[in-house]
Amino acid sequence: MNEFTINVVLVLYIFSLTVILLYSSHGFVMLYYLKKYGAKKHRKNDSFTHDKKVTVQLPVYNEKYVVERLINSVCELDYPKENLEIQVLDDSTDDTVELLKRLVERKREEGFNIVLLHRDNREGFKAGALSNGLKTATGEFIAIFDADFIPKKNFLLETLGYFTSDKIGMVQSRWENFNKDYSLITKIQAYALNVHFIIEQPVRNNAGFFINFNGTGGVLRKKCIEDAGGWQNDTITEDLDLSYRAQLKGWQFIYLKDFTTPAELPIEMNSLKAQQFRWTKGAIETAKKLLLKVWKSKINLRVKLQSTFHLTNNIVFPFILLVAILNIPILLIKNTGRYDTLFNWMSIFIIAFISSFFLYYKAQEEDHLHWFKRMLFFPLFLAGSMGLSVSNTKAVLEGMFNLKSEFVRTPKYLSAAIKEKKAWNEYMPKSAPMLVIVEVLLFLYSLFGVVLSVYLLNFTAFFFNLLFFIGFGIVSVLSLKKSLFHKK
């Protein structure tokens, strides 16, 4: 490499690591606020009466394996039937439609106020379905459950008591992953999600920052939805979008760390990638839409800064991918010995690793369930994040450049009850061929980096190349596995 090329590689590499360090170090901020506000409790009205009308909305799209479980659990909610309205918001195109007709009719015969609102198109996707249901919803409060959720019987009794003020617009329960032990993939997902649900959400809420309705497992005041401008479909994270619009309007949100709603995690790689893609792209779209409004608002500076980190943290994925690509050129440059002083200074970037480690350590400790053993998942979590960087980089770029894509919902297979592979053929998202090819090439490229690191006796580079090798290997192999061996 000539001098110019070396300088370009070094600048890109250092800039990428700086971005990663910036966002990773935010973990220290979360830990600081956890220590400062961790014990804060929300006020609850224990004498709350059950005379408030509640509408439960169930957005459904081709979910024949789980809709019966969903409807049965909602109909078992401990709440007066006369004050409970259930809307099944169905956009299905398969035999879920007929199944729902039978289920709804049976529940109506049992005395439930339940209606099936079927649309012949998916205009606006989930946001469109929720908006369509809201037109006829009679409830003062709107509870929403996705098809993979199983609300506890006391869900409404527990959450409605926290609406102690007319300014409270939403109460969110913590997701509980009942199939987290299904496979290694689900275990790593549960491990990673703990940071959001056990650290980030309660810390932001207790410290007075904006939080987000997680799209399901929560209750919103109907007036809050309407005052914020209703459900809008110009982003594919309609929940995050509405959350920020509502809080900018002055509505207060409450997060319940100690009350959980069971949910089912994706059980195969393509479904996980589709989910992560949607969350990543939608957050970027929401940042583009609302971040300027956040900074123009009258909220204080600390809330503006925290909102910026919250909405833009997915921007790290292109830089993770760039680091993966530059690892080998950097290894060769370092081996020349000409830049030893620079590389010694670059050891500061290890702070990113330390911050992430302590954040995930604290999340597992707060969960109280074999947290020490679960910390063994940290290297696998890092590798998985690296492996997903190709798909998530595409999501970031689509979000930044307004490239529209279909709302690909996460398929549910009733994983805790069945093992039948035939279910995977109908709903499983297809692998994007070019993305998988890139992942396979990076898998092989990282293998070369591992070998080269050993040859050059650079064990720091060996560790990170090994993580990339494992990450791209897991993601690419599992993406191909379902496509190749579970065809119709």
CA end-to-end span of the chain: 50
- CA–CA gap between residue 71 and residue 86 (Å, rounded): 9
Q: Model's pTM, two decimal places?
A: 0.94
- CA–CA gap between residue 307 and residue 171 (Å, rounded): 19
Q: Is 143 exposed, middle or buried (0-12, 13-18, 19+ CB in 10 A)?
A: buried
The answer to whether residues 131 and 250 belong to one domain is: yes
Q: Which residues pair with 54 in a beta bridge?
A: 84, 141
- CA–CA gap between residue 275 and residue 273 (Å, rounded): 5
- In-domain check, residue 93: yes
Indicate the SS3 state at residue 57.
strand
Domain range spanning residue 251?
A: 43-270
The answer to whether residues 352 and 220 belong to one domain is: no
Tokens 């997680």 found at: 214
Residue type, 243: S
Cα separation values, 35 from 49, 93, 112, 202, Å = 35, 49, 46, 12
- DSSP character for 149? B
In degrees rounded to 5, what are phi and psi of residue 254? -125, 135
The answer to whether residues 72 and 27 belong to one domain is: no
The answer to whether residues 79 and 11 belong to one domain is: no
Q: Known catalytic residue: 91?
A: yes
Catalytic residue chosen out of the listed positions 90, 146, 239, 241: 239
Of the three residues 244, 270, 296, the one that is the final residue of a domain is 270
The answer to whether residues 237 and 88 belong to one domain is: yes
What is the pairing mode between strands 141-144 and 54-60? Answer: parallel
Of the three residues 270, 303, 330, the one that is the final residue of a domain is 270
How many structural domains comprise the chain? 2
Indicate the SS3 state at residue 403.
coil
Residue pair 152/234 in contact by the 8 Å Cβ criterion = no
Residue pair 218/172 in contact by the 8 Å Cβ criterion = yes
Spacing of C-alpha 10 from chain mean position:
33
- In-domain check, residue 172: yes
Catalytic residue chosen out of the listed positions 91, 146, 148, 241: 91
The answer to whether residues 414 and 394 belong to one domain is: yes
Burial code (b: 16+ CB inside 10 Å, e: under 16) for 17-37 equals bebbbebbebbebbbebbeee
Q: What is the pLDDT along the chain (488 residues), one digit of tens a residue?
A: 899 999 999 999 999 999 999 999 999 999 999 999 977 889 998 777 788 999 999 999 999 989 999 999 999 999 999 999 999 999 999 999 999 999 999 999 999 999 999 999 999 999 999 999 999 999 999 999 999 999 999 999 999 999 999 999 999 999 999 999 888 999 999 999 999 999 999 999 999 999 999 999 999 999 999 999 999 999 999 999 999 999 999 999 999 999 999 999 998 899 899 999 999 999 999 999 999 999 999 999 999 999 999 999 999 999 999 999 999 999 999 999 999 999 999 999 999 999 999 999 999 888 866 666 777 889 999 999 999 999 999 999 999 999 987 777 777 766 544 455 444 556 777 767 899 999 999 999 999 999 999 999 999 999 999 999 999 999 999 998 765 544 44
∠ CA(175), CA(181), CA(183), 5° rounding? 115
